[in-house]
Amino acid sequence: MANDSSAVLDAISPDSIADPFTPPADSSLWQKNFLLGAATASYQIEGAVREDGRLPSIWDTFSATPGKVLAGDTGEVACDHYHRWESDVDLLAGLGLEAYRLSTAWPRVMDEAGVPNRKGLDFYKRLLTRLKEKGITTMVTLYHWDLPQHLEDRGGWLNRDTAYRFAEYADLMSRELTGLVDAWATLNEPWCSAYLGYGNGHHAPGRANGRYATQAMHHLLLAHGLAVPILRANDPDSQKGIVANVGRGTANSDSAADQRAAHLFEVQHNAWILDPLLKGAYPQDLFELWPHTEPLVLEGDMETIAAPLDFLGINYYFRTNVESDGAHGFTEAPPEGVERTQMGWEVHPDGLRDLLIGFHGTYANLPPIYITENGMASDDKVTDGKVDDSQRISFLKRHLAAVDQAIKAGVKIRGYFLWSLMDNFEWAFGYERRFGIVHVDYGTQKRTIKRSAELVTKFLKERKARG
């Protein structure tokens, strides 16, 4: 299908699409002030890893290490977005999506000494300018895991100095891009950066030590806290926030031990991040679960981390059912006979609703929320020029219904970003797992709009027509 925005809209006829997606008439999603958009991340789509002064990142190093990424895939080309950004923006606009969440690549915009790389900065300026010309609301994530390798060589997020280097990066980007960004997110999913990157080694940089994970998390959150006042000073008209991935933990039985196990799962997955941000302290239960892993915290750190937020981004994908490990922790107890995605993750929309309502009750200062990622992977194939991703359509409808239920329960939710705009490099799973609402043929770079995207477009056209 053509990438010209008007051609995309014209080609998607609401009358020709059987619709199992559109929300009911009383859904909050019909409100015009509820943003519906899509999200991507720099390393997952851009490619061009050695062009125009871009430096190596930890994901370049990690994915080039044999055995770290499925099939030996890397982000060297990815979706070639660095060269195809104009047609990709046209595609996004053509789908009628109202908002776009993207990330900037730290290694693309400054050198080892912190000197700005004009070619990298100009790429993001052109991209964001085109998005604003199309009337698309922009959310920019400063850190979506692609740490410059030279900083990792000096300790990465285990080195407190990295937090200060991040503040310099935030200063550069917010000065250069002021007026082009509607909302800044400092970090994406610090849980993944800290735990998967430094705790169990499944993600870059591939370190595996529990003590490393908690110290890396502290420095990530410190980096966030240092950046927020800089963003406020340089770009006062934009919103400032952070994006956390959250997980619903459920107990395998009503026993006190299993209930405690579910609680501890949510402590390490949710409260580890949200308590410092919103309460100014780490949950002590975390160190019951992971004894002797307390990070080094200097005076004033927790106040810095708890800088007021304009919004909180929430990424949700699945729940985890757990049982007591017989000691002081938990072990997974996957239920049988449940719906799962290509990732093996359970489809459990009630978990999103329950978490949102729970956060609303737990944190008195909970800021407005954007669902910054929600979606699923499936083994999508193009057949006769079409992609019928029926499971994704059902998934999205049920999760949007869960969001609506949370709104009706009093949670302030301002928008929802589909993960992802297009199939892309799925980290340690390479290119096998497809999360996009647009199919990408990685050999030809041809984009094919999936049926899920057509139905989202149909809904947005109907909402716009209502006025």
What sign does the dihedral 88-418-440-1 (CA atoms) show? negative
Catalytic residue from among 189, 266, 346, 373: 373
CA distance 436 to 453: 9
Give the helix/strand (H/E) hosting 230: helix 210-234
Helices (H), 33-160: 42-45, 58-63, 81-94, 106-109, 118-133, 149-152
Bridge pairing between strands 438-441 and 413-419:
unpaired
For residue 212, which of 151, 281, 267, 294 has the smallest C-alpha distance?
Answer: 294
Residue 294 is among the residues annotated as catalytic for this protein: no
Rounded CA separation 308/32 (Å): 27
Place of tokens 């979606």: 375
From the list 142, 139, 140, 191, the residue with the least C-alpha distance to 163 is: 142
Nearest CA to 192 among 419, 427, 369?
A: 427
Please, are residues 245 and 191 in contact by the beta-carbon 8 Å criterion? yes
d(CA 272, CA 431): 31
Query: Which residues are designated catalytic?
Result: 373
